[in-house]
Amino acid sequence: GAMARKELSSLEELFRHYGVRYMTLTKMVEMGFTVNTLVNMTEQELDDVIRTLVDIYRVDLLVGEKYGIKSAVRAEKRRLDELERKKLDLFVDVDGKRKADENALDTLSQ
């Protein structure tokens, strides 16, 4: 359905530069994986996903794909952490400015 297509295209986006084949991505979507679930997994859980793909779903993973899956997820985690930090920095700046404005108003009103 539309949902699966959406998940597939976001997985394609995630793994684009990491040599993970379309067939592998399709299988991951069938297994119910999304970018979100993968990014929230530990290394151990990712290893289990890869093992499941190979042992249970009989996906013939290339060596490069195993590394690709893990590298892509790691890179995405870093990117999200970076975004989170930027957001926090933004709030700090905004609050800092707001405080400065209040002080200016106090000075004016005195």
pLDDT at 92: 73
pLDDT tens-digit readout, 16-43: 999 999 999 999 999 999 999 999 999 9
The answer to whether the pTM exceeds 0.85 is no
Question: CA 67, CA 61: separation in Å to the nearest integer?
Answer: 10
User: Which pLDDT score, from 0 to 100, does residue 23 have?
Assistant: 93
Select the more confidently predicted residue: 80 or 106: 80
Q: Phi and psi (nearest 5°) for 56?
A: -100, -45
